[in-house]
Amino acid sequence: PARPERDAPTWPEETAARYRAAGHWRGETFAGWLAERAGAHPARTAVTDGDRHWTYAELHTRATELAAGLAARGITRGDRVVVQLPNVAEFFEVVFALFRLGALPVFALPAHRETEIHYFCEFTEAVAYVIPDRHAGYDHRALATKVRDALPTLREVFVVGDPGEHTALTEVPLPAAELTAPEPAPSDLAFLQLSGGSTGVPKLIPRTHDDYIYSLRGSNELCGVTADSVYLVVLPAAHNFPLSSPGSLGVLYAGGRVVLCPQPDPETAFPIIEREKVTITGIVPPLALVWTEAGPTTPHDLSSLDVLLVGGAKFSESAARRVAPALGCTLQQVFGMAEGLVNYTRLDDDPETIVTTQGRPISADDEIRIVDDNDEDVPEGENGHLLTRGPYTIRGYWRAPEHNARSFTADGFYRTGDIVRRTPTGHLVVEGRAKDQINRGGEKIAPEEIENIILGHPAVHDVSLVAVPDEYLGERTLAYVILRAGAEPLKSMAIKKFVREKGLAAYKVPDLVEFVTAFPQTGIGKISKKDQRSIATTPQN
């Protein structure tokens, strides 16, 4: 069985008791409520994927039978299973099967490659890895073979589609009656989500049934989600935003319908919105720019769309103003994080608040502090570091005690690394970032992770990765590289190719590379990334 108390810090008992007494934590589990929904409205459609429509009864039956089969293969409560699936219906079959067993999905993204997958499987001691056969031109089976051969803890690879040398997911299910494994407790961990990170390796975020389900319920209320809602999963299904804000899981919790979108472009998404009468979806700012440009001239009827959530990175005010007129829906800004805290503009906020702020917290029990570099509260309305604690914000990363000591205050506040100010109405405006992280259109990059890779190049003496402004993505990446004395000059392509060949998600390959002979230094002799960002002009690459 999992010992979450040893793998990650959790809420103090009296705080947990308070969240239960307030009705935030109601003792529900994912498998528990899916069974209830399947009993209450078995024939209603839960998940639509192309021509497939799975009812609540079908999703529940599939998940239960898969759980029975996984249990027979020795997968049990507390085990970790790396799930790397694109936007396909099986994503829900797999995660609800794991939820039922109390095994923990580790949510990889389709873009992740060998470096990340190997790390997730090794660090979590995952017993299984779930993949598509091919996706976006990439064959995931060969990577799975490599990782499995390298890691004795990884016993099984399950494939959606043609399994090759692995096991087809369709071979696994057994009759539901054979499922005897006990159900997890509401306070157990439900899954491990990925942190955007600012360190050499991604941190894992342990979320419980209790806390995550509370965030779903709160999100549903603020986003107007009901059993009539139809949510389009545009971003990768496993990301925290489309999963929970209010996301696919929120909409399933409400008894609504989830529609999977294979690609985020308007040419793919708009016909699906029309055909499936999608009412709500969530996208990142660069995509929102594309959608608002395409909206006014599209031949497709988007009138079913009530709410468009935009978040993951700062949405500029000018772009925000264009959403409602171009797409005929209400904009809802969302400033969230997989570690917990989620802020939404309210649907009935005045239009100026909706376009100029990133919303306010879900819960009255979300505690917000805005502090200076010494953890002292700044005067109301001024910029400061956002610290938060509450009923769905973690108290620590999974198996990371040293990092936790830096990322959390002694009294349990999470240091978000975001610089915000609070308006008189309590709305937060994101003004910047103190953590060393690059936000490339909502995709988070930890410079240290990429720098460590580039340092492995034999000709490289030193490297520093910084963000440069980008009209479309908000930020893109620039690697300043110092070559070793006497090394042959390199082309920037050589650095990019080197990173790509290490097997990293493509969005982490530096957009730009510039060779320099020295880095600007701070007063105490550290690299000044601030100066590097400000001198970055438009390097030719």
Which residues contribute to the site for ligand J2J (CB under 6 A)? 196, 240-241, 244-245, 311-314, 333-338, 342, 358, 416, 418, 430, 433, 439, 444
CB of 184 to ligand J2J, least distance (A): 23
CB of 250 to ligand J2J, least distance (A): 10
Torsion of CA 194, 199, 200, 204, to 10 degrees: -20
Residues forming beta bridges with residue 53, ordered by sequence position: 48
Q: Which helix (H) or strand (E) holds 150?
A: helix 140-150
CA angle centred on 515, ends 509 and 517, rounded to 5°: 140
CB of 422 to ligand J2J, least distance (A): 14
- Cβ proximity to ligand J2J, 245 vs 279, nearer residue: 245
Question: Which amino acid is it at 529?
Answer: K
- Cβ proximity to ligand J2J, 45 vs 358, nearer residue: 358
Distance of alpha carbon 282 from the chain centroid: 12
Q: Are 126 and 106 in contact (CB under 8 A)?
A: yes
Distance of alpha carbon 292 from the chain centroid: 23
- Cβ proximity to ligand J2J, 314 vs 389, nearer residue: 314
Distance of alpha carbon 193 from the chain centroid: 7
CA angle centred on 64, ends 58 and 69, rounded to 5°: 125
Selection from 227, 242, 237 nearest residue 56 by Cα: 227
Separation CA 128–CA 70 (nearest Å): 10
- Cβ proximity to ligand J2J, 156 vs 436, nearer residue: 436
CB of 245 to ligand J2J, least distance (A): 4
CB of 240 to ligand J2J, least distance (A): 3
CB of 520 to ligand J2J, least distance (A): 25
Coil, helix or strand at residue 523: coil
Distance of alpha carbon 21 from the chain centroid: 30
- Cβ proximity to ligand J2J, 257 vs 444, nearer residue: 444
Distance of alpha carbon 129 from the chain centroid: 18
CB of 185 to ligand J2J, least distance (A): 24
Coil, helix or strand at residue 486: coil
- Cβ proximity to ligand J2J, 100 vs 360, nearer residue: 360
Q: Where are the beta strands (DSSP E) in 338-411?
A: 340-344, 360-361, 367-371, 384-389
CB of 475 to ligand J2J, least distance (A): 11
Compute CA distances 520 → 264, 434, 453, 532, 534, whole Å: 40, 19, 21, 7, 11
Selection from 258, 339, 228, 211 nearest residue 87 by Cα: 258
- Cβ proximity to ligand J2J, 4 vs 312, nearer residue: 312
- With tokens 């982490």, the residue in question is 508
Question: Which amino acid is it at 74?
Answer: G
Q: Are strands 189-194 and 340-344 parallel, antiparallel or unpaired?
A: unpaired
- Cβ proximity to ligand J2J, 209 vs 314, nearer residue: 314
- Cβ proximity to ligand J2J, 240 vs 407, nearer residue: 240
Distance of alpha carbon 110 from the chain centroid: 12
Q: Are 420 and 370 in contact (CB under 8 A)?
A: yes
CB of 437 to ligand J2J, least distance (A): 7
CB of 148 to ligand J2J, least distance (A): 28
CB of 62 to ligand J2J, least distance (A): 26
- Cβ proximity to ligand J2J, 460 vs 473, nearer residue: 473
- Cβ proximity to ligand J2J, 35 vs 331, nearer residue: 331
- Cβ proximity to ligand J2J, 183 vs 475, nearer residue: 475
CB of 193 to ligand J2J, least distance (A): 8
Selection from 99, 102, 108, 101 nearest residue 130 by Cα: 108
Sheet containing strand 460-470, edge to edge, reads 460-470, 474-483, 512-515
Q: In the complex, which residue's CB is closest to ligand J2J? A: 336
Residues forming beta bridges with residue 311, ordered by sequence position: 334
- Cβ proximity to ligand J2J, 102 vs 312, nearer residue: 312
Selection from 509, 189, 186, 198 nearest residue 337 by Cα: 198
Q: Are 405 and 212 in contact (CB under 8 A)?
A: no
Separation CA 269–CA 265 (nearest Å): 6
CB of 73 to ligand J2J, least distance (A): 32
